[in-house]
Structure 1
């Protein structure tokens, strides 16, 4: 009986994949429950993270943009990293001075004119839509379109009122917001300098604290995570810059009012994959419709040319398929991250998913290499691990 009971227990609990998965899932939710119960103890930790995270994120983004340049001059021309970093900082300062003196006044003027004229533009677009709805050919869809337009107007009015109310209620915290922005802009350059100077030492510094048998695997994990983040950051910012430049050229050629503002908006919104450019194109359509039918036709042509160049030339060359993500996966990640963390979730959801995917994949391969549930011939990682362990054992002997 004892032998049968032991065999049954081993068969259904100790050697059953489903049972092991359920036990691990139960332990995971138990850990979440414990953290939820002691969340009040973690409030100082979250406050510390929220204070130091903005300058770190800003410095890391700039680090991934500048690091290839610093590495190139060090490897190609043997120029010390500090010299290249100082030159890059000076160039960035000169670029900022040029933007503040030349570009900012133009953008500010266009933004002021757009905000001043937007109510009349919106009223004119509503009247144009209603006039179009009087066409007998659109009678079947007239009621639906009118209902959609009414709902959109109500939602827009409600959102505007909410934004105004929140602006007045949060006016007292404006000083803290300005202080946080100023602190971020002042501390990020110092963090960036030391990242560019000593960034390559960060991986080995962390790796040496791992057990000796895990150091190679942990180093490879850090390398994969770094490659994924760098590919995403460099690719998205480069494509966004190119999109902004192409729209600026196209809108200025066709003479679109407030074209520079809409081009910058398109560049920023392009940081949101798939949806960003189309969202930024909505106000362009409204302004173009209120200008003339010829302008509407011109901006559609500009948009079509930009999308063709971006999808056929720029994105394949700059981004390629380095993230190794299916478009459906990307859309689902954007929707989920946006629902959880809003705009920041949409922007940082893809790199966070890429990091999580690498970690989970590594853990899964390690589990397969040490688990009895998978045959050894189906797990090449297991053979590699065992070979490495045998070599280490022989060296120790």
Structure 2
């Protein structure tokens, strides 16, 4: 009898009086409920459609919010009412966009049209260089060492090119649908952004109102650190991408590379993705430079190397600093995993999402260390 009572007291002490164990049990019950509800399509389908509809507008709005909110706060500190500060920034943005449309867009359109017109010639030139490479002595030695026939290589490349062309035409409708979604998202951004800039400071208080009083202080700290991580990353990455695009454009102009503006803008856009973005952006520049001449290819590689050194040694350390404190190898694996799971949105949101998750998990772990008393130092135990 006493033995049973002792076991009951141990069970009560470990399970019923242990908040962490109860917390895990609650999470388990929530997970079971979600798993059961996912088997009922009409329960989660509207929720999934809602998330897919709101994801892109909210993503674009959040990026613009973190860029403009410091300016709105600055104008408000100078005595300008917040609504008037927002409207002033809107007018300034409209003027900048109009200037870009009138001055830059025609040049971009001209270069894109020229690139599209020359694509057949580029394809023929690439095919000629490839055939010369197949017939070279070095390639024959590599081929014999690997035991691969050149006919098989040519056939595989032809099949790959045919499949790529067929998939491009097949997915044309999907591309047009995606463009329509982007246009609608861009149209809705100014309206959502206005209210977010106006009442964004109240959002954290609104979220904390649902949190129990005992957890509000810690939750407020998590929200503050999360906001700092996201804002630092977005502002820093956009500034770094703009600097990369500007430097590459200047370098391409100096060496006389064709379609320099389009190639620089492509590099600036893809540089939003750390480490993998520059590797993707260099591909079109390599094609244009290699088709132009071997000397142009060497010049382009030199310009790209110089810009990457400037970005890695001077620009990123000054702008990004050590705000994220994430190892480069970790970033690469996070981007690859998120891209595999969620596609292009996963690649874009991988690093800030991981930074937010790191903040939340680190605070939960600190809370667990304090509550469990399993990580007390030896001096404390003594």
TM-score, normalization by structure 2: 0.86
Q: In the TM superposition, what is the alpha-carbon distance from 1:223 to its structure 2 partner?
A: 0.6
Aligned to 1:345: 346
With over 3 angstroms needed to count, the CA separation of the structure-2 counterparts of 1:379 and 1:211, relative to structure 1, is farther
Aligned to 1:134: 135
Q: In the TM superposition, what is the alpha-carbon distance from 1:183 to its structure 2 partner?
A: 3.0
| Deviating more after overlay: 146-155 vs 239-248 | 146-155
Task: Provide the aligned C-alpha RMSD in A.
Answer: 3.0
| Deviating more after overlay: 218-227 vs 196-205 | 196-205
Aligned pairs (5 A) from 1:287-306: 287-306=288-307
- Measured in 2, the distance between the counterparts of 1:148 and 1:362 equals 54
Aligned to 1:3: 3
Q: In the TM superposition, what is the alpha-carbon distance from 1:33 to its structure 2 partner?
A: 2.6
With over 3 angstroms needed to count, the CA separation of the structure-2 counterparts of 1:142 and 1:289, relative to structure 1, is farther
With over 3 angstroms needed to count, the CA separation of the structure-2 counterparts of 1:150 and 1:271, relative to structure 1, is farther
Aligned to 1:82: 83
Aligned pairs (5 A) from 1:67-216: 67-75=69-77, 77-142=78-143, 151-167=156-172, 170=174, 174=176, 180-216=181-217
- Measured in 2, the distance between the counterparts of 1:149 and 1:65 equals 49
Q: Answer whether contact 1:232 1:319 (CA < 8 A) is retained.
A: yes
Equivalent pairs counted in the alignment come to: 369
Q: In the TM superposition, what is the alpha-carbon distance from 1:150 to its structure 2 partner?
A: 5.5
With over 3 angstroms needed to count, the CA separation of the structure-2 counterparts of 1:28 and 1:306, relative to structure 1, is farther
Q: Answer whether contact 1:338 1:346 (CA < 8 A) is retained.
A: yes
- Measured in 1, the distance between the counterparts of 2:342 and 2:38 equals 18
Q: In the TM superposition, what is the alpha-carbon distance from 1:74 to its structure 2 partner?
A: 2.7
- Measured in 2, the distance between the counterparts of 1:30 and 1:379 equals 42
Q: Is the counterpart of residue 64 in structure 1 residue 66 in structure 2?
A: yes
Gaps of 5+ in 2: none
Q: In the TM superposition, what is the alpha-carbon distance from 1:181 to its structure 2 partner?
A: 3.5
Q: In the TM superposition, what is the alpha-carbon distance from 1:215 to its structure 2 partner?
A: 1.5
Q: What is the SS of the residue equivalent to 1:56?
A: helix
- Deviation track 1:263-312 (CA, whole Å, cap 9, x = no partner) reads 11101111111011121111211111111111111101110111011001
Q: In the TM superposition, what is the alpha-carbon distance from 1:52 to its structure 2 partner?
A: 2.4
TM-score, normalization by structure 1: 0.83
Aligned pairs (5 A) from 1:265-276: 265-276=266-277
Aligned to 1:223: 224
With over 3 angstroms needed to count, the CA separation of the structure-2 counterparts of 1:375 and 1:297, relative to structure 1, is closer
Q: Answer whether contact 2:37 2:43 (CA < 8 A) is retained.
A: no
Q: What is the SS of the residue equivalent to 1:323?
A: coil
Q: Answer whether contact 1:122 1:286 (CA < 8 A) is retained.
A: no
